[in-house]
Structure 1
């Protein structure tokens, strides 16, 4: 039997080791992380100016990262280390919860299964808030379980409820989609109430009310920026299988555990089982967001990443049952874990993300000349210059009239199409940073493409890690070499 400390510390150490492994991802940074980098690098006043226009839902996370950048300096490790540490915390909390509910082996296996999930590994090394949200929900779930199982004295219970409300409020302020975890906890609490958990439902309702009240201003303010999630595609039969597969796995584990519940928890209190703690946390947030997406597309797996905690609890308890009944399964589990190694290796490469904002900046630095113009198509690809401003020094941002920092945005404000045309025609050589494939954009982007096609010739072209860098020269021929790849 694993020791008590190993039950929680083992998965936490595993999460820490895997999180630090390849943390710089071959010196790459994708567009979402670039948003964190740009926001964290601004002054408090500049950050507030940004949140007035965009990303207010991430405001608390940006403020945290701003503080870390100020103390430790900007860098890829500083950007991603909070997510690594949060994942280790979530692994420990998941293991501790599993141990409480189904015994030591269930706890150890629950934490390990949580850590090894590909989606956990992906966001453990990402400079965004999602791993921190998972950690807060995992800690809150553990506290709720201890309250249901221990039924502590009034003073001790009060502090645990304060901790529960605090953890859930932190999760909500980092991303208010975590409020869906409250619905999952409500199912667990109602089940515990039916089994005689005393005042647990009443106390939980009070804590939940505090969390919702604290998060409500952020929810209301962020609704004014709802256009920022307009990019989320509608649900289709092609996107539904992934969440449904996870739900199916959790349900199968639940059915197994109902037939063979495994080792009892440390306490004899019948307040809640691993099924009634894990299955709601897995299913309720996912199903709620899927249902909401039938009205307005909102479903993205990272918004409910904390459902992995519920799945980890179910997998851990189910695996513990199988291990006890069939010892050779241990070797099978280790083999299955090893089979995930190629996937984990892939997650640590730049190709695992949709793009890399650093590589095109290096390409621009190689081919640019002092006084060249530069265009970004679409304007959001200006993040390349914002993250690596030293590599764009001496270049003229042809379309820009207000910088991202000055305008309180992440893309800046560009001139009217007529002004963009006039500015382009004043350039002899223009570098273009954009996507590998042209996508319909606004009037300004259409003007950029028309002027380039009519008055410039393409002299160099390169696709680099999900971005495209092109060199155009005015006239009908290139001054040096014909069109080539960079």
Structure 2
């Protein structure tokens, strides 16, 4: 019951893990921060990304081991994503055990397999970010809650609080699982002592998270890129919510004080709904922030499948009907195959720092100037600094490490313009056409100077970026 979902999740996580060595911008941030010394990491977190601080520390420790042992053999992208594969495998095991405890062994098996087959689960099992770890911790905290509700013990409640607090410290929005847990406890009509124990554990989690939450409000500008929920992400949630609600209509015998429906429906719906409502005050909705909502769907779908796939004779159903239902499930899995294949391609993320670095190397000449539009795209250097050697970053005042920032600090607009006018050729790594542009002095100076004093020598569009060589008139030279 546990080994099958774990084996499937591990297999799907390992399939295409390198993704042609592509690394998108968020993974590049993880790679950069994990390879900074702890003495540099702490001052950086005081300026930016403190919400991911614990994750960066864990990845720093992991890379210390990985680079010394397996790095030369497996490569950087495997090391970056392997912890997420392991975490999602642990999550699949937890989902299977939850399904077993709430609805029986067959339901646990189906829930674990369903969880592993969900495309968004496979996506974040192969990303070097904290979301798979958060999902696994929420799953096991939920399991601890179910066990503690059936057999209240101080150790179990302490374990629940510790797991939830760790999940919240890895990412603050894990706290949105608490309302789902509270709803499950209330709907189960548990004894007051159990309600008090859960409330105390939840208060402990909130108290432990409070310092980080207060401090991180100083860095809220990091979410300025969010405008409104992505329609594709909302559609994914809507589809799973409707399917999950449909599965919840199928009656499943309860095997403990908390029923599967009372736990799974709030876990499926409440975290995303709370995050969506929060976005009305300040844009914050991204589906990966509450990735663990898919656990609720997997539990509901697993219980429904377990009931529908009972062998002939248990419900008086014919073998032909059982075969038709099995074939329908096989067809659903086959329909997901194109999505799964796409997730393992280099084009499946918003950009590809590896391809961008390769394009820069191919079009640049030693001594060329270098610009990033906007400045935050300087993170493309982090995974492949060698590809940018010999180029002069005309806007950079202090490097990311020296300035304790993610992207470094830039000179004034006038200084950038003067340095650009002194250059013969400039390689520009920028967002693709059609993206909104920044309006600070530095970005305005870059665009205006390129337009007024340079001409395009060569331009290449790669995944999520456009690499262009600009030259003074008659000075293009190099590859055309």
* Aligned with 2:322 (options 313, 324, 327): 327
Who is 2:339 aligned against?
A: 343
CA shift, 1:378, in A, is: 0.7
* Aligned with 1:203 (options 197, 203, 207): 197
Q: Give the 3 Å change call, closer, same or farther, for CA 477–128 of structure 1 in structure 2.
A: same
Normalized against structure 1, the TM-score is what? 0.91
Residue pairs, 1:30-109, within 5 angstroms: 30-73=24-67, 75-109=76-110
Which consecutive unaligned segments of at least 5 residues does structure 1 have?
1-6
Normalized against structure 2, the TM-score is what? 0.93
Does 2:437 match 1:440?
A: yes
Tell me the alpha carbon deviations over residues 284-310 of structure 1, each in whole angstroms, 9 at most, x when there is no partner: 111111111222221111011001111
Q: Give the 3 Å change call, closer, same or farther, for CA 479–78 of structure 1 in structure 2.
A: closer
Q: Give the 3 Å change call, closer, same or farther, for CA 237–36 of structure 1 in structure 2.
A: closer
State the distance in 2 between where 1:13 and 1:239 align: 28
Who is 1:140 aligned against?
A: 141
Who is 1:261 aligned against?
A: 252
Who is 1:118 aligned against?
A: 119
* Aligned with 2:426 (options 420, 430, 441): 430
Q: Give the 3 Å change call, closer, same or farther, for CA 241–362 of structure 1 in structure 2.
A: closer
* Aligned with 2:245 (options 244, 251, 254): 251
CA shift, 1:235, in A, is: 4.4
Does 2:266 match 1:283?
A: no
Contact 1:457–1:477 (CA<8 Å) still a contact in 2?
Answer: no
CA shift, 1:381, in A, is: 1.3
Residue pairs, 1:124-203, within 5 angstroms: 124-149=125-150, 151=151, 157-192=153-188, 194=189, 196-197=190-191, 199-203=193-197
State the distance in 1 between where 2:224 and 2:373 align: 19
Q: Give the 3 Å change call, closer, same or farther, for CA 13–238 of structure 1 in structure 2.
A: closer
* Aligned with 1:451 (options 439, 449, 452): 449
Q: Secondary structure at the match of 2:284?
A: coil
Which consecutive unaligned segments of at least 5 residues does structure 2 have?
316-320
State the distance in 1 between where 2:199 and 2:419 align: 61
Who is 2:410 aligned against?
A: 414
CA shift, 1:158, in A, is: 2.1
Does 2:12 match 1:21?
A: no
| RMSD of equivalent CA atoms | 1.7
Q: Secondary structure at the match of 2:405?
A: coil
